[in-house]
Amino acid sequence: MSDHRRVFISGGTRGLGRCLALELSKAGARVFITGRALEAARAAAIEISALSGSSVFAGGGDSGVWEDVARLSGEAVAAMGGIDIWIANAGVNQAPGLVWELEGGDMEGVLRTDLLGPMLAAKAAFAAMGAAGGWLWFVEGHGSDGRVRPGLSVYGTAKRGIAYLWRALAIEARGSGSMLKVGAISPGIMITDFVMQSLAAQDVERRAKTVAVFNILGDRPETVAAWLAPRLLAARRSGVRLAWLTGAKIMGRFMFAGMMRRRVVEEQGPLSS
């Protein structure tokens, strides 16, 4: 049975956002994707629509600027007749480096997109869905669980904030009588252009070690999206967290790494798993 819900996905031109847009569109959902550049968003929407056979709409704007978020929400409502699911997926990575080595503007850019952006998405989603309710999903990442990796402190701080934000909003929504449900997506380690850029900045020895770990724990965005999409559509209880890379899966992959010999990424670029 097709699912005809209306889905808003920020950062839907590449990576997990694009793959989710495709999977949800194949399930019958109408999807509105956003990107910083309108031309790129429209091109991605045309490609996704052709692959899925479902309508995909697009808008351009900065997910960390309220005026853009409010406008994009209005465009999505006008295009689809409303919004039932909002996925606050837009995000950027930081340039690898210690805090005191980074430019102030770069730090502000990461926090504006990765932490302020989801807060603005929540404000817009509450307004757009109103009394009818719906779903608001946030995307966790490195730092959400409190683990620390040197050189990713700004990005990790933003994602740690997301872990608090979605839980707080789930409680606030229930407490206010809102019908909006809130949840989180934990996609694990995905081999995206962000990851490949960070690898390129590492020295040879560190890069080899990182590639070895990624080949055990990493996955392509399309693999994760294919697992997530039906669970997003089937979710019923607010406060749920959909985790792809669980502790049990991590343990199993390390235990059987020698047998599986996964090759998700090579130093030259991502390959098929």
pLDDT given for residue 16 in this prediction: 96
Q: Give the 3-state secondary structure of residue 179.
A: coil
| Residue reference for tokens 């995307």 | 139
DSSP one-letter code for 194: H
Question: Regarding predicted confidence, which is higher, 102 or 200?
Answer: 102
pLDDT reported for residue 192: 83
What is the C-alpha to C-alpha distance for residues 122 and 245, in angstroms, rounded to an integer?
25
Give the residue-averaged pLDDT of 193-204: 72
Side-chain-facing half-sphere of 114: CA atoms under 13 Å:
27
SS (H, E, C) 87-152: EECCCCCCCCCCHHHCCHHHHHHHHHHHHHHHHHHHHHHHHHHHHHCEEEEEECCCCCCCCCCCCC
CA distance 101 to 237: 43
- C-beta separation of 214 from 265 below 8 A: yes
pLDDT tens for 20-34 read: 999 999 999 999 999
CB 125 within 8 A of CB 135: no
**Cross-strand pairs, 205:** none
Contact 183, 241 (CB under 8 A): yes
d(CA 44, CA 56) in angstroms, rounded, equals 9
Given pLDDT bands bounded at 50, 70 and 90, which one contains residue 266? low
Predicted confidence at residue 172, as pLDDT, reads 94
User: Does residue 270 have a pLDDT over 50?
Assistant: no
pTM for this model (two decimals): 0.92
Reference 32, options 70, 78, 68; nearest CA is 78
Write out pLDDT tens, residues 112-151: 999 999 999 999 999 999 778 999 999 999 989 998 988 8
Contact in structure between 221 and 17 (CB atoms under 8 Å): no
Residue 63 near residue 117, CB atoms below 8 Å: yes
Residue 264: is its pLDDT beyond 90?
no
Distance between CA atoms of 131 and 126, rounded to whole angstroms?
9
User: Which overall architecture, per CATH, does domain 6-190+220-246 show?
Assistant: 3-Layer(aba) Sandwich (3.40)
Note the pLDDT of residue 7: 98
The answer, yes or no, to whether residue 11 has pLDDT greater than 50, is yes
